[in-house]
Chain A
Amino acid sequence: MRKIVHIAVREFLSTVLTRGFIIGVLVTPLMIAVMIILMPLLMNEQAPRIEGEIAVIDPSGEVHQGLADYLKPEAIAERRGALKEFASEQMQKMPGGAANEALAEPTLNALLGEVPNLDIVQRPADFDLESEKRLLTEEGPTEDRRLALIVVHEDAVQRQDGEENFGSYDFFVREKLDDRIVDEVRSGLRHAIVDARIRTTDLDRDYIEALTQVPRVRSTTVTEEGEKETNEVVNMLLPAGFMILLLVSVLTGGQYLLTTTIEEKSSRVVEVLLSAVSPMQLMTGKILGQMGVGLVILALYAGMGIVGLVSFALLGLVDLALLIYLLIFYVIAYFVLASMMAAIGAAVTEMREAQTLMTPVMVTLMIPWLLWLPITRNPNSIFATVTSFIPPINTFVMLLRMTSTSPPPTWQVWLCIAIGLISVWGALWFAAKVFRVGLLMFGKPPNFATLIKWVKMA
């Protein structure tokens, strides 16, 4: 037993203390964390206030006043206030509530920039288009610069006889004008023109607006326990998150196990080791050591996930029991995969030769990805139930089902675990035989038929 511990400790340390591992596994999440911290800081950096003149040529004389009112700094500020209020209301409806709102405010501010100070000037109707346009290219003191030129068509407010559509306007802007100003002017014009049209036809604008409004309604999920608001995004993402966590941690440990086994075999250190320990001890120690590596990754990413959920006040979505099941499923899934990896690693002499034997293993591990959508959408279908009992994908499917909106009955979970444990035993038995025979076999890489022969031989 002590020997197994020695092997496991060496295996763990020699993997975790390599530059590749530290960079690949630790630095990536660190970079994500840095991004999360730095992004708001970067976004807080606001663009300078925009100042300048917007010229309007308005033959009807009905539009420019509306536009000037719409683009007054106070009016812009007021609209933004309303937008923020709306956003914060929406955010509170989203899971996370208050935390989201706190995040939303600076984000919105950053997105909108400072309220621009725009001067709307009307130009005479007998204008010279070319000389007006030239002003858009001239440099000058910022507050006097012409930013845009708008030429409202004559039939923009009143249709010409026999025409079905109203006219519009031409819009000329200075080079590199902030797109937020362009949008602001455009919607101001839309507002002003519609307003003018309504005024000339004696309709009630507020009434028309009320007529066209149907608020968007969130769906409500009805369950046995009661009603709750449907949260489509989280419903889909939570199972995927759990499954990715399981898959990544299992694969990392398994991949390292394959690499170190091949290394030991090709560097011929393996027979030196076998002089001190039995093949079974060697394999057990190696599998346990890499299980530690997988657990480090699982803890790291799960921990980050939990920190993330806490900061969004979303922790309530995750049942703590789920984390315990995640751990159990990790152990089962890891042992099955690791056995295969140990067997493959022992059977071949080079990484290149391992690829052929790895393909079926990898394809099997892709299945949960393909099943993610159908199973989260319908977690208790016959298909989902059956696949959650078929090793080696049973743990992945069961985890998907358990994190979905309608978890499976407990007996199914335990049946899945029981089947998982049996599959662990079977995989270890197979791997132990292949491992023992394969370790000292050099030369032609074996195929699956050869592996079966070895199992019979051992």
Chain B
Amino acid sequence: MNDAIRLNGVTKTFGTKVAVNNLDLSIPMGALWGFIGPNGAGKTTTIRMIMSILFPDKGEIQVLGKASALEAKDRIGYLPEERGVYKKMKVGAFLKYMESLKRGSGKGSRRHVRQWLERVGLEDVEHKKCEELSKGMQQKVQFICAVIHEPELLILDEPFSGLDPINMLLLRELVLEQSRRGATIIFSTHVMSQAEQLCDHVVMIHDGDKVLDESLDGIRRRFDPRTILFEPLDNEADVSSLDELPWVEKVSRSEREFAISLVPDTDPGEAIRQVAAAVPTSRIELHRPTLEDVFVRIVTQSGDPSANELSQLRAGLREDAGREVSS
């Protein structure tokens, strides 16, 4: 009962495509978890199953201690990836309507709506029609829809897509505030860097399979830094001596920057000292693996992808990757 969400061997197929394969998951109360993976990995399908919008072919789902999200809908806030508004409805009326739907009992309150609109900087749109808002404004309105009834569980599917950096910061702050309030938050994104900045734990899925389910600290520890990046002061410097060092596995160069892969169990501190001693450098750092690197390493473990495939894989994990269904 300490888990906000528990999935047990959940499988969902569409035709011949396995969208989610035998997924186990347990998300504790109060957590801020990231749900990551490239487009088409099965994130949205999983979330829809958690929300009881889709039903799994196999497996069990428990949400907030109930056998189905339908029984706990009023305690859940959900910002779907495919989101829209009633175009002809006034913003204030729309939010009030959504609150009254979500609160199950009682009506939506205009005061709540006003407060929230103020907080996201949209105080003057209450009487505008939804269709008059820009896409970013609509997105903020939709975020209000998800949180206006103070849910215990908040599921956000790609909440930052299409937002400018300022609004992204604003929204991130609002999400963190919900987390401080005690809400359990699941945050799905294909942009690994966003998850990295916000979450304390990530679940990574790829082609319907869970490939990682670990805290960010644990990931950083496990995928220990084994690369040293450095730029020599003199561009023409001779770095061949580095190859002779016993803990160097490989030296590769891209433009001005060199990357030295370390032999496992090398002390990175000592290695940096030795590199600096061998070649005068303008910059030297121990490279921490990003989630993107981790993901790429996990999915390429089995095969040996070409450079082209690798860059495609990485492109899919960045912000400008196209959404699955353009809206």
Report chain B residues within 8 Å CB of A273. 101
- Which of these, B70, B84, B88, contacts A272 with CB under 8 Å? B84
B257 at the A/B interface (Cβ < 8 Å)? no
Q: Which residues of B contact A (CB under 8 A)?
A: 48, 51-54, 70, 73-74, 76-80, 82-89, 97-98, 100-102, 104-105, 142, 145-146, 325, 327
The answer to whether B87 touches A278 (Cβ under 8 A) is no
Report chain B residues within 8 Å CB of A114. none
Report chain B residues within 8 Å CB of A276. 73-74, 98, 101-102
Closest to B146 in A: A275
9 closest residue pairs by CB, A with B: A268-B84, A275-B78, A271-B80, A269-B84, A276-B101, A267-B84, A276-B102, A268-B82, A271-B82
The answer to whether A278 touches B52 (Cβ under 8 A) is yes
Residue from B48, B80, B105, B146 whose CB has the most chain A CB atoms within 10 Å? B80
A159 at the A/B interface (Cβ < 8 Å)? no
The answer to whether A272 touches B80 (Cβ under 8 A) is yes
- Which of these, A6, A14, A270, A274, contacts B100 with CB under 8 Å? A6
- Which of these, A2, A7, A270, A277, contacts B105 with CB under 8 Å? A2
Separation of A269 and B131 alpha carbons in the complex (Å):
12
Beyond contacts A14-B88, A271-B82: 5 other A-B pairs, Cβ-Cβ < 8 A, are A264-B84, A275-B51, A275-B77, A275-B78, A278-B70
Q: Which residues of A contact B (CB under 8 A)?
A: 2-3, 6-7, 10, 14, 18, 263-264, 267-279, 440, 442
Q: Given that A6-B101, A7-B101 are contacting pairs, would A272 and B327 also be in contact in the complex, using a CB cutoff of 8 Å?
A: no
Report chain B residues within 8 Å CB of A272. 78, 80, 83-85, 98, 142, 145
Separation of A269 and B77 alpha carbons in the complex (Å):
15
- Which of these, A263, A278, A442, contacts B325 with CB under 8 Å? A442
7 residue pairs A–B, Cβ–Cβ below 8 Å = A14-B88, A268-B84, A271-B82, A272-B85, A275-B77, A276-B74, A277-B101
- Which of these, B51, B104, B145, B325, contacts A3 with CB under 8 Å? B104
Report chain B residues within 8 Å CB of A442. 325
Residue from B48, B76, B104, B325 whose CB has the most chain A CB atoms within 10 Å? B104
Least Cβ–Cβ distance between A50 and chain B, in angstroms:
60
The answer to whether A274 touches B53 (Cβ under 8 A) is yes
Least Cβ–Cβ distance between B78 and chain A, in angstroms:
3
Separation of A6 and B108 alpha carbons in the complex (Å):
10
Separation of A440 and B73 alpha carbons in the complex (Å):
18
- Which of these, B53, B73, B102, contacts A271 with CB under 8 Å? B53
- Which of these, A3, A7, A271, A278, contacts B83 with CB under 8 Å? A271
Report chain B residues within 8 Å CB of A275. 51, 53, 73, 76-80, 102, 145-146
Least Cβ–Cβ distance between B172 and chain A, in angstroms:
21
The answer to whether B53 touches A268 (Cβ under 8 A) is no
Report chain A residues within 8 Å CB of B84. 264, 267-272
Closest to A440 in B: B53
- Which of these, A6, A18, A440, contacts B54 with CB under 8 Å? A440
Separation of A10 and B89 alpha carbons in the complex (Å):
10
Report chain A residues within 8 Å CB of B53. 271, 274-275, 279, 440
Report chain A residues within 8 Å CB of B74. 276
Residue from B89, B101, B105 whose CB has the most chain A CB atoms within 10 Å? B101
The answer to whether A440 touches B48 (Cβ under 8 A) is yes
Separation of A440 and B12 alpha carbons in the complex (Å):
15
Separation of A278 and B83 alpha carbons in the complex (Å):
16
Report chain A residues within 8 Å CB of B77. 275
Separation of A180 and B54 alpha carbons in the complex (Å):
77
The answer to whether A267 touches B73 (Cβ under 8 A) is no
Q: Given that A14-B88, A269-B86, A442-B325 are contacting pairs, would A3 and B80 also be in contact in the complex, using a CB cutoff of 8 Å?
A: no
- Which of these, B48, B54, B85, contacts A269 with CB under 8 Å? B85
Separation of A10 and B94 alpha carbons in the complex (Å):
10
- Which of these, A6, A267, A278, contacts B86 with CB under 8 Å? A267
Separation of A221 and B50 alpha carbons in the complex (Å):
70
Report chain A residues within 8 Å CB of B76. 275
Report chain A residues within 8 Å CB of B78. 272, 275
Closest to B327 in A: A268
Least Cβ–Cβ distance between B89 and chain A, in angstroms:
7
Least Cβ–Cβ distance between B270 and chain A, in angstroms:
54
Report chain B residues within 8 Å CB of A267. 84-87
Report chain B residues within 8 Å CB of A268. 82-84, 327
Residue from B51, B54, B97, B102 whose CB has the most chain A CB atoms within 10 Å? B97
Report chain A residues within 8 Å CB of B51. 274-275
Report chain A residues within 8 Å CB of B48. 440
Report chain B residues within 8 Å CB of A277. 73, 101
Closest to B89 in A: A14
The answer to whether A6 touches B82 (Cβ under 8 A) is no
Report chain A residues within 8 Å CB of B82. 268, 271, 440
Least Cβ–Cβ distance between B20 and chain A, in angstroms:
15
Separation of A6 and B103 alpha carbons in the complex (Å):
11
Report chain A residues within 8 Å CB of B325. 442
Q: Given that A268-B82, A274-B51, A440-B54 are contacting pairs, would A2 and B87 also be in contact in the complex, using a CB cutoff of 8 Å?
A: no
